[in-house]
Amino acid sequence: MSKPGTTNNPSGRPKSVGVVAQLRREMLTGGKLEDLVEKVYGLAIQGDLVAARLILDRAWPALRSQAALVNVPLNPADTLTAKATALLQAAADGELPSCAASELIRALASICQITEADELKKRLDALEYGDLA
């Protein structure tokens, strides 16, 4: 076993390791990967919707939504509830996409959990060490 910060393989990963995926594909298709692709393409051209879908899903993956950058002014002094309400209102007013508002509110919920954990730790420390400040 090697010591922390050292390696048993100082020369690194061999260059030929990338061939594993190629070998796996060849094993699964009997070395006839190109023939398989041509067959699926031919079926798609003939109107086979499953084959067409397979090719289209690989060529053009489904697009993910990408919201434009928007500025929603949130007052740092406001409560998390007030901030979540402001985000919901911005989504209702059409200033913020609903998916972005949802993600931001989930982020606020995470901040709330982190804050609760910090406050609980402070209280436990105060009980353990007698510091009530």
pLDDT tens, residue by residue, 53-84: 998 888 887 777 776 777 888 888 999 999 99
Give me the percent of the chain exceeding a pLDDT of 90: 38
Give per-residue burial for 14-40: e unless 16+ CB within 10 Å, then b: eeeeeeeeeeeeeeeeeeeeeeeeeeb
DSSP string, 22-72: HHHHHHHHTT-HHHHHHHHHHHHHTT-HHHHHHHHHHHSPPPPP-PPP---
If pLDDT is split at 50, 70 and 90, which confidence band does 43 have? Answer: very high
Between CA 21 and CA 38 the distance in angstroms is 20
pLDDT, greater one: 50 or 24: 50
pTM: 0.47
